[in-house]
Amino acid sequence: MRPSTTEDLAQIVADAASSGRKLEIVGGGAQAEVGAPRQAERLDMTGFSGVIDYDPAELVLTAGAGTPLAQIQALVAANNQMLAFEPHGAPGATIGGVVAAGVSGSRRVSRGAVRDHLLGFKAVSGRGEAFVGGAKVVKNVTGYDLPKLAAGSWGRLFAMTEVTLKVLPKPETAITLAADGLDPAAAVALMSKALASQAEVAAAGHGEGLTALRLEGFGPSVAARKALLEAMAPLRMLPEAEAGAFWSALQAPLPDAPALWRLGLPATAAPAVMTAGLGPCLADWGGARVWLASEDAGAVRAAAEAAAGHAMLVRAPEAMRRAVPALHPQPAPLRALEERVRRTFDPAAVFETGRFQDAD
């Protein structure tokens, strides 16, 4: 099913709710292998495609949820602007899918996550009712902050048809400084010191023998902040191609690993996890996000919990995805609260496809 109007979408969802059928919301399919295999009718949202409104002077863009991410990035780049949360995805990724999956790149430590840039959206709930969340303005304090709920909801609450995002000017200058050969403890120490300094580091990551710090802004400012960082540690400036490859590797990490985990941790706990012998690792967000390749689900989850963090399975063979919940198990009270929120928007569980077994 590929609706292209809100009325058609609302009717499809209402019919599914009344008949007990399940619908899986699908955009470009970039996140299709996250979670368990499922049997549900595909609700193709690419019919809601196209830029609806873009005012570069106001730094606000509204687009259909099925609009390709690449199209939006090209449009804002042509106006010397950017999506500041640095979204990424496989070819075909849509802006609605990026929002629903909460995809934020390395710049998240300085510019915030997708939830901080989603101003508003339009959607159809599991009741088959169209509604609006947020607004098309930056300063909006009316009602519940539903955009924060939409970001990272994974299509389990409602089907978004339209999103409004805040965009920002593209930096005039961007450089990456790197230290070679640091172990995880030294790398996290350097990244933490740099992020806490007045250097205004835009991104900080570690992997493949490099610890990298990105600076962005006006040329003279970048030069002054570069000198500040160079006073902290021996650093070299990466050539543009090498820097691009490094940051791209953090967005599409460890491509040859059969099973890949995304860990959210206190940065100070990252070195212990990275040196525990669980598998190859990369670190982003100054160490607060760790990408880990391992097929030992029990060991990974135990390590994340011991570090007061959580681990999400983002890629694995089908047999593993059937057996291991993608999302980290929640404490009973929080799990019950999430269930109540989902049933508020989707009382007939139309969008509960079995993808995230731990909450079904």
| Count of domains forming the chain | 3
**Are both 37 and 155 inside the same structural domain?**
yes
Going by the DSSP 8-state scheme, the letter that residue 238 receives in this structure is P
Q: What is the pLDDT of residue 98?
A: 96
Shared domain check, 340 and 197: no
Q: Which of 16-25, 132-141, 338-347 has the lowest mean pLDDT?
A: 132-141
Give the model's confidence band at 134: pLDDT under 50 very low, under 70 low, under 90 confident, else very high.
confident
Q: Does 313 score more than 90 pLDDT?
A: yes
Q: What percent of the chain has pLDDT over 90?
A: 91
Percent of residues, the chain, with pLDDT higher than 70: 97
CATH number reported for the structural domain that contains residue 221 in this entry: 3.30.70
pTM of the full structure:
0.92
Residue 139 is predicted with a pLDDT of: 53
Q: Are residues 99 and 75 in the same domain?
A: yes
User: Does residue 44 belong to any structural domain of this protein?
Assistant: yes
Residue 360 has pLDDT above 50, yes or no: no
226 plus 284 within the same structural domain: no
At residue 160 the predicted structure's pLDDT band, cuts being 50, 70 and 90, is: very high
140: pLDDT strictly greater than 60 = no
C-alpha dihedral, 231 to 237 to 243 to 247, nearest 10°: 0
Question: Which pLDDT band holds residue 142 (cuts at 50, 70, 90)?
Answer: low
Shared domain for 233 and 266, answered yes or no, is no
Residues 6 or more apart whose Cβ sits within 8 Å of residue 107 = 84, 85, 86, 202, 203, 214
The pLDDT, as a whole number, for residue 14 is: 97
- Distance between CA 138 and CA 94 in Å, rounded? 23
pLDDT at 359 over 50: no
Question: Mean pLDDT lowest for which of 17-26, 38-47, 141-150?
Answer: 141-150
In a domain, 355, yes or no: no
- The answer on 40 and 107 residing in a single domain is yes
23 or 145, which is more confident? 23
Say whether both 51 and 151 belong to one domain.
Answer: yes
> Does residue 60 fall inside a structural domain?
yes
Q: Which domain holds residue 117?
A: 6-169
Domain membership flag for residue 239: yes
Task: Say whether both 115 and 260 belong to one domain.
Answer: no
Q: Which of 200, 233, 248 is the last residue of a domain?
A: 248
Neighbours of 139 (CB within 10 A): 6
What pLDDT is attached to residue 158? 96
Structural domain includes residue 356: no
161-205, pLDDT tens digit by residue?
999 999 999 999 999 999 999 999 999 999 999 999 999 999 999
Strand partners, 55: 60
- How far is residue 148's CA from residue 168's CA, in Å, rounded to a whole number? 19
Residue 279 in domain:
yes
Cα torsion 146, 149, 152, 153 to 10°: value is -100
Task: Give the pLDDT of residue 32.
Answer: 84
53 and 194 fall within a common domain:
no
Considering the domain architecture, whether residues 86 and 147 belong to the same structural domain is answered as: yes
pLDDT at residue 143, rounded to an integer: 58
Section 265-269 average pLDDT: 96
229-261: pLDDT as tens digits? 999 999 999 999 999 999 999 999 999 999 999
| 79 confidence band (pLDDT: 50, 70, 90) | very high
206/240 same-domain check: yes
Shared domain check, 157 and 25: yes
What does the alpha-carbon distance between residue 86 and residue 88 come to, in Å, rounded to a whole number?
Answer: 7
